[in-house]
Structures are given as C-alpha cells and as structure tokens.
Structure 1
C-alpha cells in the first residue's frame, strides 16, 4: 500500500513541505499545482528534489473545468490539457486529476462528458499518461461519484479512470457502499479527508474544515472499506484543506497525517478481511484499564505545599523509593508520586515548568503490544537509565514532552510499588477517594486535533463532541475522551488566549500538560467532612451560584444547604447527577477536583465551568503581579 499526501495539506514552502512529508514516512505526494507554481525551480528540478527524498509523485492536480464545454472553450480546454501533460512529464508523474466542471458555460449530459474524456484519454495514452475524473460535491452537473463512474464507464478508455474523495461522497451523505460496484482497476486514485459535521455551504466546508481521518465525524472507515472491497490497490492519499493546519507545524501535521492513515487502514483490514491492505501487522488498539499513577516533579516549598494539599485530601505517604528522592502517596486505588530528584527527566521537567504532573502511568492490557502499536504510529519512545533494583518500564512521550508509562500485571511491572518502594507505616485516615475519575490536559487550541488523534489511535477510546467552555476573559474548547467502561477518561482543553484560566496556566508553566486531576468518591458529602477535619481549603463558591441552582433544578432546601456549606457544585441530566468539589489552585494554576457520579451521568459538569473558573481567578495573583 502506497501512502500519499497532497502538498496543500500542510504549511510551508515546497521544499519544507516535502521534507516534512518524507520525514513522516509517506511514500509519495500529490503535487498541488499552486505549490509548484510558487516554487522557483524548474519542473525537472522539482521532480529530482522529490525523488531525492525517497518520494514519488502519485498525482498532479487539479485540472479544472474541462468536460462539457462548447467551442471555442472546448478546444482551449484540450490545449490547456496538453500543456499540463508537458509539465507532468517533466515532473515525472503519469496521473492527473480532473475535477467535475463548475464552469458556467459547461453543458450537461453524461454522454457529452464521456466523449470529451475519451478524446482526452487518446491524447494521454500517446504520452503514457493517465487521467482520473473526480466528482466535486459542488460540481455544476456532476457532483456524485455514481455519475462520475458512469461517465468513466462510457468513456471506455484504458487511460481514463475514476478518482474518489471521501469528503465529496460523505459530505453529500451518499452511501459509500455504492462504491463496491465499481471495478477496482478503474479506480485510479483515492483521496481521504474527515471533517466535523457542520451545516454550511459544501465548498466553504471543504476548503476550510477538512481534517485527518479520525479527527472529524465522517465515517471514513466505511468509505475505505467500500473502496478496498472491489480490489483497489493504488495509493491512499490525504487531501486536507484546513485553516488551522496552514498555520501549524509542517512536521507535526505530516506526522499526524501518517498516523491517521496507518490507523485507518489497520481498522479497514480488521473490518474488511478480504481487502488487500499491504501493511505490516500491528497490534490493535489497546485497552486501558485505568491510571496506575501520576508523578509530580517538585522541589522545596512547592513540594511541601503539594504534600500538605494531598494530606488534607486524605492521602498518606506509604512508600519511599529505594534509591531516589521519590515519595509514594496513596488512597484507595490512587497513587501519586512526588519526585524531588535534581537529575534526570523529572528534574528537567521541574526546571522547565515548575511543579508539574510530568508522568502518567497507564494500566494497559498488554504492555508489549501497547509499545508496538505506539511505535508503528509514530510515537516517540522515552527511556532513561535505571538504577539497581529498578524495573525498566516502557514509556513514550506525551503532550509537551511529558511521559506516559505502560504497566500491566502479566509482565510483573505492576510489582514496581513493592519492589522499588520501602513501605511506611503511616496510618493517616483516608477520606473516601477511590480512583482517578479523569485527567485534564491543557494545550493551545491548535494542538487539540493532534492529541485527540494520538489517544484515539493508540487506545480503545471514543471522543465526545467538542464543547465551548466560557471563561470570563475568553473561550476554551474542551473535548472528552474515554474508554468504553470509563476506566480511563481524559479531557483536552484548548486555550486560544493567555487571558483565560487555561491560557494563564500554559503561560505560567511554560506549557505544562496536566492542569488538574479529578478523584472519584462514592459520597462527596462524607469526603468533604473528612477533608474539613484534615484542614482542606476548598475553592470558595459564590452564594449567587446556589441561588441560580435553586431555579434550575428541583432540589430540596436541605440539599442546597449541604451543597453550599461544602462549596460543592451540582449538575444533572436525564441519566443522573454530578457533584464537584475543588481545591484552591496552587503552583501556577494546578488544582484537584473531587467528583461523585450518580446514576449514569457521563459528562464533566461543563455548565459549572464558568463559575468554577471565575472563583479560581479570584484567588490567583492580581494581573501584573510577579510570580513568587
């Protein structure tokens, strides 16, 4: 299987695009005509540059407004085609994309279009070239791949074939299974793009909101199953038009594209066993059973403050590392490691971000398979020297250079807590916290698609629709990802300005990844009582919030009084209720959340976010004041 991507999909000048595409692992490129025209090299030079990077030109595109024109426009169209054929031969590619005409003078009629394509096929064949015809979703007369196929079928020429684009099919809600009736050898090329479901003009939607397979809401997997079923064996290519990508890192976007393509075709192979998907065998998405641990890098007074907060939440120090300055704090199934080392990765993380949750350990079903899948999909491995008596726990890099360790029981890695830590006899009372409900990662908004793709291609996780979180000074986009059983949940929060709480955290921490951790309890009121006995300082909530709560929900006066007395937020939907209690922010904006889920509530209390953020901002240092 040849992997390909259109040069229009990523940012930069042509050499920068090509270098990023080659580094990501693609086999070839669709060269977008504009990228070639704006480059100052000759067609021959461009072709040599592409091949020197180990790439091939899988397609030249686009050639517009060809079929169905009256004379003299028709004759002019054939002249234009001949000049493009000259260019293709100099570049060193044999396939051109012709998209269905949008020309106002274009005449309808399948036979007329077929006749024009047959005539063009005769000219292309004399040069050893091929022509692929694609139905644009907004084409003047042809906007459906079924009509485009009928035109190609009637053109009846070996040099004329069909080009399919997932966006043009799925955006118009055309059944992709109709592709199964098209002979595989008459499909010359396949382009892929996903997109969020938005009700807007098709052309505008296509030109600004396409994204990588798996980043949107279109069923690109079903589309590719239908394409592969009749025996298609040609290139699989990405054609992405996205304003966000045009201003992003070419290398990062190309890497995401390759990851999305490999993950997609692996899914296709599993769901359509007869498909000829020539890919190395890779393990399927891994099951995450939960969070094994979260490690903080900290020092001095900040570490003491963190330990105090944990103690007031009922955590107790239950182990010290056999050779390093690490302390293990536990409660229920929750493990928090505080790392005070002055060398190694955690030390570097502290020097960069200050106190930070630098490492998350995931309990997976199979460590070896998790590492293999991550590596195949382009994740960066992480490793540092281990000391005497330490286990070598596999890990990869995560957001902002953070680390994700993989632990399972079968390999013995789950014994790390007894093998590497000396147990203590601290008998501090716990407060009813049982597990980590979810972890919230903060990033710039333009990174959200990338990290959503990262998690959903590595692990068996689904994503919820993106929601807007209203900050008093801006907007934060939030998306939740979770495993089928809810054992691992993570929320991605994208900041568009440093004025928001999320943006403030990013600026203060120089891009730290985890802003808050939510702990689950079975009874938040009993936990709150235990916290109060231990000296916990909760986030103060405005009385106005509870007055509004009274008008929104049918709650008893007694229940509202209990909520207000403990500074607990409340939300409910048709499936259940959600109660939230927050610590005060520390270390530049990190905070803890305690949650109780009642019934089958699946959300995260998004309606409460503006009130929580406002309360947190009241406690942060005044604007313009230096960080102490």
Structure 2
C-alpha cells in the first residue's frame, strides 16, 4: 500500500501521461516543398535563417536560426501523395519531438491516424510519419538532444556556423491551418484524440489575427506551441483541396524590435485597415505567392 505522498506522486504521473499521451516536446522542424529552392532560400535568409547542411542523397537543404529548423525540399516526390514539388512553396510536413518515436507512431495509428509509407534510402533514418491536413505529413522525432536526425541524414556546409543565433530570440510559436467550412470540430477532434491538444477559450487570443479556433499542444511550457484553425470567410465557396498548412507563427518577446530588425534586412509587413503591426504581433507580406510569417508576442523569447 502506498503512503499518501507516494500515492500523490503516482497520481501526478498518471495525470501527466494522460494529458500528453505521445510525450510531445515541441516542433523539431517544418518542411517546405518547392521547385524553387533558391528563391525560397533567399526569403528564409532575409528572415534570419542560414543554410547549415545539405541532405546526403536528396535535393534538400536545412536552414536554421536559434532552435528553429526549416527544411527546403526540392526532391521528387516530396509530398505524401507521391506528387512532386510545386512552383508555389507549400508547407509539406511538421516534425514533432516526442519521447519515443516508435511508440508515438503506434499509438497514433491505434487512434485512427493514417500511416505514410516510408521511402528510406541507403544510409537514411526511418522517421515514422502519419498523414496530416491536405498532402502534408506529421513526423515523430525522438533524436533531438545530443544526437539529432541531422547527424545522420545531412552533411554540414563547410565554414558555416551550424547554430546561427535567432533574431531577437525568435522561436516556433505554432502553425496556421486553413480548413473547410464547418470543419473546425473535425480537426479539433483529430488533434485532441491523437496528440492531446486542448482548445483555448474564445477570449484567450494571440497576435493580431485572432479569428478561428486555437489549439494548445500538451508540451511542457518551454516547448509549447499552437495550431490555429481558420475556416473560409462567410459566403466563400468551400473547396476541400484548399485545406492545408498556411504559414508559420514565430514567437518573440519584443515584436516591434523584431519588426525593425527584419525591416533592415528587407522584410516588409502588411499594413492595412484590418491588419497592421503592433506590439501584439505582425504579419509579413507574402513571397513567391504563398510564403509568409506571423510574429506573435511571446515572453519565452
């Protein structure tokens, strides 16, 4: 029989496990698919990223600033449906950090996720993945501390700092996902049942684009991130193929200082009646027809 203190400790562990069933610990990388890797690379460098490594056997580059990893994939096929990259860059995958990738993958499949067939070549890691929104993938990564997935699949670019500092403490804040009409509950259930996300109250909002539904990951506070689900505007024809990951949200402790620094690097921001830069957040103008970034005030920076 447990003593009261032992019982309390056991209860706490059980609660923590139930609240974070896959052991999520943040975002490891976000991957873009594109036929224009150099053009997208120029955009990323303007945003403060630096190319730090090349894939051993594929046309894939790793960009980084601080703890933010972005992969640019021009390899064919790059999407989960076997299609090749498109002219307009699309967010093709999100990799989630987990305690045990194999266990997280198995549990996700048991809860109804669809597996993505592996296409591993010689000397490559087998990173388990499930289908996400549209043609995107969700990877599970458990090698992100002292030994990472990049140590196996990528070759460092000579003479480049492998860990360039982040501009103004930028870090992953989350992703914005466009969904079809009346699909908010379906997608909320998807993230809730598979990963343990919780819906935030309607009055709890971030940034300058507060519409839609916001889901919070079950990660520890330091690595927590958010998914914002946005339906079409009222009266807009719903097209199922329009569902997908729209943009990356980046957190910063000082939005205005970050905007000023990025402005010196050539980044411009949306300034209109409905959307404009303020201390809560900012939205970059779009590049290449599809790429934009949202800054959100977040003290973790």
TM bucket, shorter chain: 0.7 to 0.9
Distance in structure 2 (CA, Å) of the matches to 1:438 and 1:343? 26
Q: CA deviation at 1:448?
A: 1.9
Corresponding position: 1:406 with 2:140: yes
Q: Which residue of 2 aligns with 1:21?
A: none
Mapping for residues 325-364 of structure 1, pairs under 5 Å: 325-345=59-79, 348=83, 350-351=85-86, 354-364=88-98
Distance 1:435 1:354 in 2: 24
Aligned pairs for 1:246-285 (under 5 A) are 285=21
Cα distance, 1:335 vs. partner?
0.5
Map 1:97-136 → 2, pairs under 5 A: none
Cα separation, partners in 2 of 1:498 and 1:333, compared to 1, 3 Å: farther
Query: Contact 2:127/2:141 (CA < 8 Å) preserved in 1?
Result: yes
CA distance in 2 between counterparts of 1:342 and 1:402 reads: 15
CA contact (8 A) 2:168 2:258 kept: yes
Note closer, same or farther for the CA distance 1:516–1:406 as it changes in structure 2 (3 Å cut): same
Residue 528 of structure 1 and its aligned partner are, at CA, apart by 2.4
Unaligned runs of 5+ in 1: 1-269, 272-281, 470-475, 546-566, 571-578, 600-628
Q: CA separation of 1:386/1:582 partners in 2, compared to 1, >3 Å: closer, same or farther?
A: same
Count of matched residue pairs = 274
Given that 1:284 and 1:373 are in contact with CA atoms closer than 8 Å, whether structure 2 keeps it comes out as no
CA distance in 1, matches of 2:127, 2:49: 25
Structure 2 SS opposite 1:380:
coil
Structure 1 residues 350 and 465: alpha-carbon distance in aligned structure 2, compared to 1, 3 A threshold? farther
* Displacement of 1:499: 4.2
Q: Following the alignment from structure 1 to structure 2, what is the Cα–Cα distance between the partners of residues 398 and 589?
A: 19
> Does residue 531 of structure 1 match 2:262?
yes
SS at match of 1:289: strand
Name which of 147, 156, 159 aligns with 1:423.
156
TM-score (norm 1): 0.40
Indicate yes or no: 2:34 matched with 1:298.
yes
Q: 2:277 aligns with which of 564, 568, 589?
A: 568
| CA distance in 1: counterparts of 2:175 and 2:230, whole angstroms | 11
Output one character per residue of 1:305-331: Cα deviation in whole Å (capped at 9) or x when no partner: 422221111111111111100011101
Which structure dedicates a bigger proportion of its chain to helix?
1
Who is 1:478 aligned against? Answer: 213
Going from structure 1 to structure 2, the CA distance change for 1:480 and 1:461 (only over 3 Å counts) comes to closer
Distance 1:450 1:512, change over 3 A: closer
CA distance in 2, matches of 1:569, 1:526: 11
Shift of 1:429: 7.0
Q: Which has the higher contact order (CA 8 A, sep 6+)?
A: 2
Q: 1 CA distance for matches of 2:191 and 2:171?
A: 21
Distance in 2 (alpha carbons) for counterparts of 1:568 and 1:482: 26
Distance of aligned partners of 1:516 and 1:498 in 2 relative to their CA distance in 1, 3 Å threshold: farther
- Cα offset, 1:304, TM superposition: 3.7
| Preserved contact between residue 19 and residue 218 of structure 2 (Cα < 8 Å) | no
C-alpha RMSD over aligned residues: 3.3
TM-score by length of 2: 0.78
- Deviation, 1:442, is 0.7
Greater Rg, structure 1 or structure 2? 1
8 Å CA contact 2:76, 2:84 repeated in 1: no
Structure 1 position 452 matched with structure 2 position 188: yes
What does residue range 427-442 of structure 1 map to in structure 2 within 5 Å?
430-442=166-178
Contact 1:349 1:356 (8 Å CA) reproduced = no
Q: Any conservation in 2 of the 1:298–1:356 contact (CA below 8 Å)? A: yes
